[in-house]
Amino acid sequence: MCSQDQEVRMKILDKKHLITVIKNWAERYRVISPVRTSHNETIFDIFDENTFTLDYTKPSMPPKSLYLPQSETIFTVENGEYTPVTSRIKSLLFGIRACDMTAILQSKSFMNGEVADLFYNSHSDNTITVVMACAGPQNDTCFCTTTKSGPYAKKGYDLQFYDVGESFLVAIGSETGTELSNIEGFSDIDDADALNKIQSFQKEAEQSIERIPEFTPAMDRLSNGGIRDEFWERFGNKCIVCGGCTFVCPTCTCFNVADRPTAPGKGDRLRTWDACLYGGFTKEASGHNPRSSQGIRLKRRHEHKLLYYTDRDTHGGLCTCVGCGRCSDYCPVHIGTIEVVKAIAGE
């Protein structure tokens, strides 16, 4: 939570000016915002005044495809010469939730470990983030307060909007944010007064989101090696290997690469989403698979979220699960992270 001794720069934006402001940004950036589809679902897509909405909760998909597209060409090849394909599109991501902001920071750290990911960075380095702080849980699976990744972003954003009725209080998190807010529509506000209002907003939001008391004990059980493989095999027998939990997870970044010939002497190298829960993901050329059962694959996935990380990876979060709850929302057999950690704690 913001404290009185922090230097926080603030602006205020009347809601009636929001569309005009976004249109202004759209003259300089590709604006990705919440839009309502014809099926009445909210997704992040190119800003369109006719489908743009502020009446949204937690979009089913996180915005990770902006940074790691579901499929993209990363190299072109011609006569043995490789040419990397990187993005130069400047984007502005408006209205993301705090859990997804934390996930973006965590994923960027992961994709820039010992070797920097040129292609991921070409997207992330050209993307501005504008967070919409949550006033409460977006549905009954939100547990960002448990994982210390919401309901408001603590770092990483360029701007963060707080809905206070007829207007937004806007926290400025970067010099880019300063530039974005130096346009018609934004007004100056007394920082101390705004900060008091934001602190009240943050406190009420945090208190409204139910915590999962089993979460930390489950992490401790994993860390101590107290969960036998038989436990994971029981869950593995339930899993139908749809991969849905990994695709909706904002911090899952598993991918595969494939070469595609396009003409004699020419071709592309593609990178596509993959999932560690698929049997072929760890299968070796010899035919051996070190993660040969679905139970072991589930074990490794949850260990990556709850155990295998450093402070550098979490960016202030508890672990590399950000508590968005999407895996529990969409798992058809009800073995998302919420269900798994409760089972671990009770084992």
Per-residue pLDDT of the chain (347 residues; tens, 9 = 90+): 343 334 578 999 999 999 999 999 999 999 999 999 988 899 999 999 999 999 998 999 999 999 999 999 999 999 889 999 999 999 999 999 999 999 999 999 999 988 999 999 999 999 999 999 999 999 999 999 999 999 999 999 999 999 999 999 999 999 999 999 999 999 999 878 888 999 999 999 999 999 999 999 999 999 998 899 999 999 999 999 999 999 999 999 999 999 999 999 999 999 999 999 999 999 999 999 999 999 999 999 999 999 988 888 899 999 999 999 999 999 999 999 999 999 999 87
Residue at 273 is within a domain: yes
Same structural domain for residues 219 and 294? yes
Residue at 3 is within a domain: no
Residue at 314 is within a domain: yes
pLDDT of residue 6: 46
Same structural domain for residues 187 and 97? yes
Residue at 96 is within a domain: yes
Q: Could you tell me the two tokens for 230? A: 């038989």
Same structural domain for residues 198 and 162? yes
Last-in-domain residue among 189, 208, 227: 208
Last-in-domain residue among 177, 208, 239: 208
Residue at 2 is within a domain: no
Same structural domain for residues 203 and 219? no
Q: What angle in degrees, to the nearest 10, is found between the helix axes of 229-238 and 337-345?
A: 150
Last-in-domain residue among 179, 208, 237: 208
Same structural domain for residues 73 and 196? yes
Same structural domain for residues 145 and 173? yes
* Residue 108 domain boundaries: 9-208
Q: Model pTM?
A: 0.94
List C-alpha distances in Å: 55 to 26, 51, 68, 210, 277: 21, 11, 26, 22, 34
Same structural domain for residues 28 and 174? yes
Residue at 98 is within a domain: yes
Same structural domain for residues 219 and 121? no
Which residues, including other chains, have CB under 8 Å from residue 329's CB and lie 6 or more apart? 60, 139, 141, 248, 336
Same structural domain for residues 134 and 242? no
Same structural domain for residues 200 and 272? no
Residue 243's region, left for phi above 0, alpha for psi from -120 to 50, else beta, is left
Residue at 167 is within a domain: yes
Same structural domain for residues 52 and 189? yes
User: Of the candidates 257, 242, 250, which has an alpha carbon nearest to the alpha carbon of residue 298?
Assistant: 242
The distance of Cα 96 from the centroid of its chain, to the nearest Å, equals 9
Residue at 306 is within a domain: yes
Rounded to whole angstroms, the Cα distance separating 177 from 34 reads 20
Provide the number of structural domains found in the chain.
2
Same structural domain for residues 90 and 166? yes
Rounded to whole angstroms, the Cα distance separating 205 from 199 reads 10
